[in-house]
Amino acid sequence: MGRKFADLHVVCDIGPRGERLRDLARRARCLGFSLLAIPLRPDMTKKELSELKAVAEEEGIDLATRVDLAPMNRDELLASLRRLRRRFELVGVLCSNKGVARVAARDRRVDLLSFPLDLRKRFFDDAEAELASGSNCALEIDLMPLIRLELDKRVRLLRRIREEVALAREESIPVVISSGATEPILMRKPRELAYLASELFDLGLGEALDALSRRPVEMVERNRAKLGPDFIAPGIRLIRRGSDCR
């Protein structure tokens, strides 16, 4: 059975009512993706989210609903998580300061940790990795914003990201590779992204492929199970309903 490839961070504008989603889903399918996640408005209703998923499904794409948070402080992050966690299948947090990074790393409601391109605002260090290792979150790296940087900035940043990836591997923290594409034309085939990631971040090709398939797919499946009506707690699921449960 072949791999199911996922791009969990396609930052393309789908329009206020999702009218551009169909074309985007069609392109993703042609490139070889099965699963796609696009950051959506936090105020979207369940009906709107269901309609978007239906449109993507018509084009052969499984759409995971995602919200991206960019909090300025701990309290803002916690308030957003309380409000949004049960509504979206994926929650990503842009960690722009150390306080937010530490709270996001240890909170099990956070799925994906990402960091700014500014080297001064990358806080994925030993302490961050230790916190993240116990919370089931993943380190997410967007490729397209990296390769569009000026050469000198790109070289310095890649050196830092290689260190972060090595640290994540030491602490058994999943690494998820996403495109971060802001336009459909910037999307790439999953194996092209995997080859690029393997070269840039000193990953084995199998690890890079997993970062675009097994890792993100498992994350989405796990979260969908948690959001389902039969989920009670990790490892505990309702098997039968009704008065006679013998």
Residues 79-104 pLDDT 10s: 999 999 999 999 999 999 999 999 99
Domain assignment present for residue 109? The answer is yes
Is residue 177 pLDDT above 80, yes or no?
yes
Predicted confidence (pLDDT) per residue in 124-136, tens digit:
999 999 999 999 8
Per the listing, tokens 């989210």 go with 49
Is residue 246 pLDDT above 60, yes or no?
no
Domain assignment present for residue 48? The answer is yes
**Which domain covers residue 193, as residue numbers?**
6-237
Is residue 233 pLDDT above 90, yes or no?
no
Domain assignment present for residue 132? The answer is yes
- pTM, entire model: 0.91
Output the domain CATH number for residue 210. 3.20.20.140
Domain total of the chain: 1
Domain assignment present for residue 246? The answer is no
Residue 1: the pLDDT is: 61
Is residue 216 pLDDT above 80, yes or no?
yes
Q: How confident is the model at residue 244 (pLDDT cuts 50, 70, 90)?
A: low
Which residue in 53, 63, 3, 70 sits closest to 215, CA to CA?
3
Domain assignment present for residue 242? The answer is no
Task: Let me know: does 78 contact 106? Beta carbons within 8 Å.
Answer: no
Domain assignment present for residue 1? The answer is no
